[in-house]
Amino acid sequence: MKVFQSNLHYFKISQENLEKSLDDFYVFDEKHPEIEKYISNTKEIKNILITIKTLQDKKEKTLIINKYFLELSKSIGKFSNCSEFACFVNACDNIIDEVKNDTELLKKITQKYFAKRLLNEIVPEEWIQSILDTNSSRKKGKCGENKLISLLKKQGYAEVFDWENFSKTDFCVVKFSQKFNLKNVRKNLNIRIKAKKQDKTLDLIIKAKDKIFLCEAKHLNTSGGGQDKQISELIEILGLHEKNNISYISFLDGKYSNILLSQNGNGNKITTQRKEIDKCLKNNPNNYWVNTAGFKELITDLK
C-alpha cells in the first residue's frame, strides 16, 4: 500500500487538478433511440389540433369537435413531451399528463394555443432531438456514483451487492440500496450517520480492508438556490464524525467544483463555502473533500 496522506493533501490534489470541460460520464450526445416515436406522436397531436381548429373555423357542431378533443386526450402519452403543444402546456403553468385527464382544462389551453402560437404540420427531427437534449440533465442523477464505481473498478475494487460479499472482500464498493439501507448500514457498521435529516442516505460505501468510507457524489455546473442546498449537504457530510474507523467523502465535480476549488474564485458565497470546507477538513481529519483527481489519488493510495 502507498503512503496514505492527510485529507488536506487530497484536497490540494483536487485544487491543483481541476475538472475537464467535457466529462464523458455526463455527455449524452447520441440520438435518442426512440426519436421516431416522439416524431410520430408529435405529428399525431398536430394533425388533431389542425382538425379541431378547422372544425371550429367552419362552426361545426360542438358534439363533433368534442370527439376530436377526446382523440387529442388519447394521443397524449409517453412520447408527447417534445411536442410544441406539450411545451405550451408547461408555459401555461400546467403538466401535460394532468391536462390530458381534464377535458375542460385541455379545451381552455387549446384555445390559448390557437390564439398565441402558429399551427403547422412540420415536425423537424432536429427540433425534437433538441428538446430531448435540453432534458438530458435529468439523466445525470446516478452518473456521479457510476463514475466513481468505474474509477474504483479500474483500481481493483469489486462492486458487491450483499453484506456477505462486502464482509469478505478487502477492496470493494456498494451502492446504498434496499439491502444497504440506513437501518442496515447503521446496524452492521455500528455508525450513526447523524445528519440533520435522519433519513438522509448517501451514495456509496467504499471498503479498503479495515477502512470504511461513506461517500456522497454530486455534479454541479452552475450556482443557484438548488445548487447551494447541495453544497450545504456536502459540507454537512464533511462535518459528520464517527467513533470507529469510518470516514466520509464529499465528492463534487463539474464546473462549479472548479469555481469552488480555484483560489481565483471570489464572491461572498464562494468565500463562505470555501471557509466552511476548510474548517470541516481541519476539524475532521478522517473526512475528505475531493474532485475526480483527488478521489483517484485517494483510492490509489489505499491499495
pTM of the model: 0.84
Q: How far is CA 129 from the centre of its chain?
A: 20
**Percent of the chain whose pLDDT exceeds 90:** 86
Whose CA is closest to 52, among 74, 76, 70, 69? 69
Whole-number average pLDDT of the chain: 94
Q: How many CB atoms lie within 10 A of CB 291?
A: 23
> How many Å apart are CA 276 and CA 2, to the nearest integer?
30
Per-residue confidence (pLDDT) for residue 218, from 0 to 100: 96
**pLDDT, tens only, 87-118:** 999 999 999 999 999 999 999 999 999 999 99
Residue with cell 466520509: 248
> Domain locations in the chain?
7-26+139-301, 35-137
> How many Å apart are CA 199 and CA 270, to the nearest integer?
28
- Please list the residues that pair with 248 across neighbouring strands: 214
- State the chain's maximal CA–CA distance in angstroms: 83
**Percent of the chain whose pLDDT exceeds 70:** 97
pLDDT band at 269 (very low <50, low <70, confident <90, very high): confident
**pLDDT, tens only, 4-55:** 899 999 999 999 999 999 999 999 999 999 999 999 999 999 999 999 999 9
What sign has the CA pseudo-torsion 102, 108, 111, 113? negative
Burial status of residue 274 (CB atoms within 10 A of its CB: 0-12, 13-18, 19 or more): middle
Whose CA is closest to 177, among 165, 169, 185, 187? 185
- What integer is the mean pLDDT of 251-276? 88
**pLDDT at residue 1 greater than cutoff 60:** no
Per-residue confidence (pLDDT) for residue 200, from 0 to 100: 83
Q: How many CB atoms lie within 10 A of CB 230?
A: 16
